[in-house]
């Protein structure tokens, strides 16, 4: 099969890890007789430097016409000035909105051989296998009005948390569908004791729960969920939540896996196309050293094969190779080992 993939390596370690994921995809293409055509574009800080915009219209158009997009990471101290008129994160939000990727899937699995890399007690981590489904294009990050002004002689800042019923419904339905292929349990996270948008969220979750009686639904307040992720993560299966709660809870959940560098994500739209990226940032502290862990990006490429291209066998072959590589004791610096980004990928490729 033929697929067009737009690559957005971005800033910092982004290009280092995307290069390795492309190597893995090229092995898949030759082994399973597919053709992947890669088109590389600038996005984030590097795009601000070259074009004066974190995401140009041309790059967005290329991403929209591709079968899938693989992103590294964007941002860094060079573009951190809060007064700047464009920032790398703006490009990321515009990309998500432009692609219509309304659901972000972040699997968090604790590999048995890495249990000691997590700050949590080993007995808390056994059997942890969570899929966080985060709403990605609504809520506080996109609501309007938003901005700063002066009112009654005081400086004021406003953000708006807004959700339409259809935005909640589509992400909730996706969570239930995904739960059916897993342990059939959905934890819907909200703040319904305080927020009106959360009461709408809970109402729709309850309705979809009734339509899917084979899936167990529990409602949980976001404060309880943040505790539960640390005190009893093994009890959770699919966790579905709104944009900002998901942003925070997924970073908390990443601690369970031992390193930010391990975790992939998939952002899905109504069409088959999607945006795939590791959950970590551009890691300016290690950029250019060749020591970044490439696994989060390589597993994101596997998610791309599964969700956008429906190549389940190929996706599983990458995931199995990563598992075997970790089991064999191969480690990059973030996991306390000596391997470089390239050497870690070589180990994975040798097991594919
Ligand atoms: P970060 O994820 O870049 O780094 C946090 C820590 O984890 C650092 O110590 C880093 O070295 C380590 N780390 C991250 N990925 C790693 C990997 N693959 N291998 C080994 N170690 C890894 O988060 P940060 O430092 O808060 O942010 C740095 C920049 O990245 C900021 O400009 C931020 O805005 C941006 N950022 C971008 C994204 C994105 O592109 N999606 C996400 C988060 C942060």
Active-site hit among 11, 67, 163, 191: 191
| Average pLDDT score, the chain | 95
How much of the chain, in percent, has pLDDT values that exceed 90?
Answer: 88
| pTM for the model | 0.93
| pLDDT recorded at residue 118 | 84
Instruction: Report d(CA 257, CA 129) in Å as an integer.
Output: 10
**CATH 3.40.718.10 matches 1-104+264-352:** yes
| pLDDT recorded at residue 60 | 97
Instruction: Report d(CA 71, CA 45) in Å as an integer.
Output: 13
Q: Which CATH code is given to the segment(s) 119-257?
A: 3.40.718.10
Atom 20, ligand 1: which residue's CA is nearest? 292
If you measure from the C-alpha of residue 74 to the centroid of ligand 1, how many angstroms do you get, rounded to a whole number?
A: 9
* Beta pairing class for 185-190 and 216-221: parallel
E-assigned strand segments in 250-343: 264-268, 274-278
How much of the chain, in percent, has pLDDT values that exceed 70?
Answer: 100
Q: Which of 139-143, 216-220, 247-251 is most confident?
A: 216-220
If you measure from the C-alpha of residue 58 to the centroid of ligand 1, how many angstroms do you get, rounded to a whole number?
A: 27
141 is catalytic: yes
- List all residues 6 or more positions away from 167 whose beta carbon is below 8 Å from its beta carbon: 102, 135, 137, 138
For residue 258, is pLDDT > 90?
no
| pLDDT recorded at residue 117 | 82
190 is catalytic: no
Q: Quick: pLDDT tens for 173-186.
A: 999 999 999 999 99
- Please give the full DSSP string across 2-17, using - where no structure is assigned: EEEEEEEEESTTHHHH
* Beta pairing class for 35-40 and 2-10: parallel
Q: Which of 260, 279, 333 to mutate to test the pocket of ligand 1 (most atoms within 8 A of CB)?
A: 260
CB 254 within 8 A of CB 114: no
Residue ranges of domains in the chain = 1-104+264-352, 119-257
Residues with CB under 6 A from ligand 1: 13, 17, 73-76, 89, 92, 260-261, 277, 280-286, 292-293, 296, 334
For residue 1, is pLDDT > 90?
no
């Amino acid at each position: 099969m033929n697929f067009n993939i737009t690559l957005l390596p971005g800033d910092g370690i982004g290009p280092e890890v995307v290069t390795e994921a492309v190597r893995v995809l090229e092995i898949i293409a030759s082994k399973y007789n597919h053709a992947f055509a890669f088109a590389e574009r600038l996005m984030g800080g590097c795009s601000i430097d070259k074009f004066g915009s974190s995401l140009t219209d041309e790059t967005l158009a290329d991403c929209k016409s591709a079968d899938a997009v693989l992103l590294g990471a964007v941002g860094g101290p060079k573009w951190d000035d809060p007064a700047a008129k464009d920032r790398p994160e703006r490009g990321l939000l515009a990309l998500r909105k432009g692609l219509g990727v309304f659901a972000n899937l972040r699997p968090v699995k604790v590999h048995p051989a890495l249990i000691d890399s997590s700050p949590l007690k080993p007995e808390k981590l056994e059997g942890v296998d969570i899929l966080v489904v985060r709403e990605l294009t609504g809520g506080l990050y996109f609501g309007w009005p938003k901005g700063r002004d002066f009112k009654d002689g005081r400086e004021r800042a406003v953000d708006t948390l807004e959700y339409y019923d259809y935005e909640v419904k589509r992400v909730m339905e996706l969570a239930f569908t995904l739960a059916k292929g897993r342990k059939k349990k959905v934890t819907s996270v909200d703040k319904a004791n305080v927020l009106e948008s959360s009461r709408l969220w809970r109402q729709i979750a309850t309705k979809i729960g009734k339509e899917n009686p084979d899936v167990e639904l529990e409602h949980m307040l976001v404060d309880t969920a943040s505790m539960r992720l640390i005190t009893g993560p093994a009890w959770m299966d699919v966790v579905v939540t709104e944009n900002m709660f998901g942003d925070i809870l997924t970073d908390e959940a990443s601690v369970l896996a031992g390193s930010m560098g391990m975790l992939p994500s998939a952002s899905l739209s109504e069409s088959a196309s999607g945006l795939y990226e590791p959950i970590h940032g551009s890691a300016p502290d290690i950029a250019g050293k060749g020591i970044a862990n490439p696994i989060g990006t390589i597993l994101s490429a596997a998610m791309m094969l599964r969700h956008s291209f429906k190549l389940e066998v190929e996706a599983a072959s990458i995931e199995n190779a990563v598992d075997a590589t970790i089991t064999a004791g191969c480690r990059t610096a973030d996991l306390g080992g000596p391997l470089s980004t390239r050497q870690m990928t070589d180990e994975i490729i040798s097991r594919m």
